[in-house]
């Protein structure tokens, strides 16, 4: 009897390890899929997206340009690095600041796409969509507060100028090449990308479609695996790592995003955890804010690799990105009634989207296409 029990326990343990290995592989596929979507956008429309920056004469237009460029390229890190390069080339810092704010909004599109992987189960989709859009509403609220303040008082320009002043006479710095995630995912992306290169720019659209398909597949399989694995001790460990408290959540989000250098990747990984009920939207909320702060490392690294007469201004715009996200986190999360606004908006929209999926298309079309496009057309 004891032998049978031991054998059964051993089989159960082996099966559990196999499921953990499968979950790790699905997690890797999700990371590859997000990289494929990002790479596909850069491949197909990346160069055209850069021309958007020529129309940034007005702060609101600059905001919309940052938003659209990031939605197209699917990487706020890439867009802010482009902005750093433009400032290094002579673009005024005050012109670039609204673009950085827009990039914060545009990057949230990835989360929403990932949440659609839960669309077949209403309750999962409601939780996943709320987890994705709380990031949107936080960044929208941050811009609604800080863009008018910046236009009136130039607080980010002045603060970043003060922070960068010690470097005015310093030599060149370089910390480039600290991307820990790309070496892991890029070989798989290149493997898929290779056969598509024969189609030119159209291959980029193929990479996007394959990436989105892979997101749906990986999210679906991850959900099934996590429902069986994330019980008992495993669930407690994950909750203690992320849900121990707001400050710990913010610190965790910052640290993880610094390592992977992509807030889209970090926050996208949280969506299935909330969708399957492992974590709650409130527990993931501080982690998301930490991801906002952590993503600034890419622009800072890009700035340290710049040399020349405008190098200090490149560092300044990178610091603007950091100051904006830190101040937004301190103000919005630190003031109770402001803290609740993104949560309430996310819960309201997720309830609406659960009842009518057309609300998802309407929301995405309004925030990422109609409003930015109309404002750009008007300012042009």
- Rounded Cα distance, 122 and 126, in Å: 6
Lowest-pLDDT choice from 85-94, 219-228, 289-298, 308-317: 219-228
Q: Average pLDDT for residues 101-115, to the nearest whole number?
A: 86
Instruction: Calculate the alpha carbon distances from 96 to 153, 276, 291, 338, 380 in Å.
Output: 16, 39, 22, 27, 18
Its domain, for residue 152, covers: 18-379
Residue 260 clears pLDDT 50, i.e. is over it: yes
- What pLDDT score was predicted for residue 308? 60
Other CB atoms within 10 A of residue 198 CB:
8
- What pLDDT score was predicted for residue 351? 93
Q: Is 205 helix (H, G, I), strand (E, B) or coil?
A: helix
**Is pLDDT larger for residue 10 or for residue 262?**
262
Looking at the chain, the whole-number percentage of residues with pLDDT higher than 90 is: 25
Q: Is residue 4 part of a domain?
A: no
Of 331, 266, 257, nearest to 293 by C-alpha is 257
Q: Average pLDDT for residues 88-115, to the nearest whole number?
A: 85
pTM of the model: 0.73
Lowest-pLDDT choice from 2-16, 169-183, 326-340: 169-183
Reported confidence tier of residue 23, pLDDT bands at 50, 70, 90: confident
- Transcribe 293-340 into DSSP letters: HHTHHHHHHHHHT--STTHHHHHHHHHHHHHHHHHHIIIIIHSHHHHH
User: pLDDT for 156-208, tens place per residue?
Assistant: 999 998 988 776 555 444 434 444 456 777 888 888 888 888 887 778 888 87
Residue 4 clears pLDDT 70, i.e. is over it: no
**Is pLDDT larger for residue 145 or for residue 275?**
145
Q: Average pLDDT for residues 89-115, to the nearest whole number?
A: 85
Q: Is residue 364 part of a domain?
A: yes
User: pLDDT for 212-257, tens place per residue?
Assistant: 778 667 766 765 676 566 545 555 655 666 767 788 889 888 887 7
Q: Is residue 3 part of a domain?
A: no
- What pLDDT score was predicted for residue 56? 64
Highest mean predicted confidence (pLDDT) among 25-39, 115-129, 148-162, 242-256: 148-162
Residue 138, exposed/middle/buried by CB under 10 A (0-12, 13-18, 19+)? buried
- What pLDDT score was predicted for residue 89? 65
Residue 361, exposed/middle/buried by CB under 10 A (0-12, 13-18, 19+)? exposed
Q: Average pLDDT for residues 122-148, to the nearest whole number?
A: 93
Q: Is residue 185 part of a domain?
A: yes
Instruction: Calculate the alpha carbon distances from 107 to 17, 100, 111, 285 in Å.
Output: 35, 11, 8, 16
- Transcribe 45-107 into DSSP letters: HHHHHHGGGGGTTSHHHHHHHHHHHHHHHT-HHHHHHHHHHHHHTT--HHHHHHHHHHHHHHT
Q: Is residue 93 part of a domain?
A: yes
User: How many structural domains does the chain have?
Assistant: 1
Looking at the chain, the whole-number percentage of residues with pLDDT higher than 70 is: 74
Residue 48 clears pLDDT 60, i.e. is over it: no
- What pLDDT score was predicted for residue 201? 73
Residue 165, exposed/middle/buried by CB under 10 A (0-12, 13-18, 19+)? exposed
Residue 316 clears pLDDT 50, i.e. is over it: yes
């Amino acid at each position: 009897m004891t032998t049978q029990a031991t054998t059964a326990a051993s089989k159960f343990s082996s099966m559990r390890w196999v499921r953990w290995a499968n979950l790790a592989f699905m997690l890797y596929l999700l990371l590859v899929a997000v990289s494929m979507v990002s790479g596909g956008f850069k491949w197909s429309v990346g160069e055209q997206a850069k021309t958007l920056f020529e129309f940034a004469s007005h702060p609101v237009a600059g905001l919309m340009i940052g938003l659209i460029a990031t939605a197209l390229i699917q990487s706020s890190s890439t867009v802010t690095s482009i902005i750093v390069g433009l400032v290094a080339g002579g673009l005024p810092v005050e012109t670039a600041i609204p673009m950085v704010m827009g990039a914060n909004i545009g990057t949230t599109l990835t989360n929403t796409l990932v949440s659609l992987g839960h669309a077949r189960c209403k309750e999962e989709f409601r939780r996943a969509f709320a987890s994705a859009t709380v990031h949107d509403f936080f960044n929208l609220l941050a811009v609604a507060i800080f863009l008018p303040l910046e236009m009136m008082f130039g607080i980010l320009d002045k603060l970043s100028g003060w922070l960068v002043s010690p470097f005015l006479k310093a030599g060149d710095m370089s910390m480039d090449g600290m991307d820990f995630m790309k070496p892991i995912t890029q070989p798989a992306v290149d493997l898929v990308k290779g056969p598509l290169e024969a189609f030119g720019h159209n291959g980029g659209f193929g990479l996007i479609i394959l990436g989105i398909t892979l997101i749906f597949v990986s999210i679906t399989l991850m959900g099934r695996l996590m429902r069986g694995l994330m019980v008992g001790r495993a669930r407690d460990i994950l909750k203690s790592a992320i849900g121990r408290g707001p400050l710990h959540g913010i610190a965790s989000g910052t640290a993880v995003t610094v390592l992977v250098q992509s807030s889209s990747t970090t926050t996208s990984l949280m969506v299935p955890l909330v969708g399957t009920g492992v974590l709650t939207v409130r527990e993931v909320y501080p982690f998301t804010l930490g991801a906002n702060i952590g993503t600034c490392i890419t622009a800072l690294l890009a700035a340290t690799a710049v040399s020349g007469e405008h190098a200090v201004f490149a560092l300044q715009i990178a610091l603007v990105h950091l100051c904006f996200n830190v101040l937004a986190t301190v103000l919005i999360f630190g003031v109770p009634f402001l803290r609740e606004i993104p949560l309430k908006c996310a819960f309201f929209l997720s309830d609406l989207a659960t009842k009518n999926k057309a609300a998802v298309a309407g929301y995405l079309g309004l925030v990422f296409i109609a409003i930015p496009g109309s404002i750009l057309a008007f300012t042009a």
